[in-house]
Amino acid sequence: MTAQIITQKVAVGISACLYNCPVRYNGRAFDALALLGRERADFVWTPVCPECLAGLGVPRMPVHLTGTGQEVLAGSAKVLDRRGRDHTEAIVAGCEAAISALERAGVEAFLAKEASPSCGLYKARVGRKRTETAGGSGVFGAMLLERGWFLIPDEGLANSLLWWDWRRRLHAWLWLKRRPAETNRDLYDSWHVVKFVVQETNRPRADAMGRALAALPKHPAPEELAALRTEMLDALRAPSTRPRIRGAMLKAYAHARKKGSLAGVDLHDLEMDALSERSRIDEVVHDLVGLERVSFENDLLFGPSPVIRRDARRVAARQLESESAND
């Protein structure tokens, strides 16, 4: 199956400290996007710092949560600094301001600094004492989770393998979100494109989705179709594990080498060595991303990513080439 193409630059919100903005409580920052290299230009980034928008300056005293972000939003927990001063109201206001900015930017995906009491998604330190380590959502993380956006913890940028998996699922998620879901056929066709990514991460979930689609009545209610599509979107958002991603990637790599379909094709800078000669997984990732590009340029039936992004001008040029070849 050739990959589906999206052409728009994907709007992604990002914790400002990951975007190399020195907004952390101690004035530090992380250049988390360095891993992406030139690929970072495929996205439109909107950095926000909820704590700065709360009016807390840099440097500032770090804050901690007495309960989860959800409990803070429900009014049953607080955000305190080391001296016990209550910043709950300001932090909630800062998080709301950040959400408003992201909505104005048309963002549907967010790259979050995990473990922060504000931006953390699942691992913020939560507890009565600052030193407690029970994991939960930060206040901003809790707001993000409510919105159903595509959320990526910064651990997703720990290496090129993890990022490759997050990116392909983000692109598939955005493509699926924009697809119609008005008939059974719409859903079957969409599922056919994205299902192998879900199968790799969670086979029982993928099988259950297949059964649910097969059991649809001939004329299902719109709510039934919408619920199934929501389940597909949720399944695409669920992270995979390193061994599974690696396994899927190596399988795709070996398949591409073996098939012989690359004979006579301009591979640009790709060498496609045997796996035994590829000691580093990031070299395999580099080759696979390159192969996705080569496959697009040559209409080849290859692609471990069901949906890839290509610049609109390249897509138009490719269409012209195909049309003139068919004349």
Q: Closest by alpha carbon to 198, among 229, 234, 236?
A: 236
Minimum distance from CB of 125 to ligand SF4 (Å)?
12
Minimum distance from CB of 291 to ligand SF4 (Å)?
35
151 touches ligand SF4 (CB under 6 A): no
The answer to whether residues 190 and 177 touch, using CB atoms and an 8 Å cutoff, is no
- Whole-angstrom distance, CA of residue 280 vs CA of residue 38: 20
Residues 37-76 that bind ligand SF4 (CB under 6 A): 49-51
Q: Which is nearer to ligand SF4, 12 or 49 (CB)?
A: 49
Among 118, 160, 184, 201, binds ligand SF4 (CB under 6 A): 118
Q: Which is nearer to ligand SF4, 118 or 295 (CB)?
A: 118
32 touches ligand SF4 (CB under 6 A): no
119 touches ligand SF4 (CB under 6 A): yes
116 touches ligand SF4 (CB under 6 A): yes
Q: Which is nearer to ligand SF4, 95 or 256 (CB)?
A: 95
137 touches ligand SF4 (CB under 6 A): no
17 touches ligand SF4 (CB under 6 A): yes
Q: Is 215 exposed, middle or buried (0-12, 13-18, 19+ CB in 10 A)?
A: exposed
Q: Which residues bind ligand SF4 (CB under 6 A)?
A: 15-17, 23-24, 49-51, 113, 116, 118-119
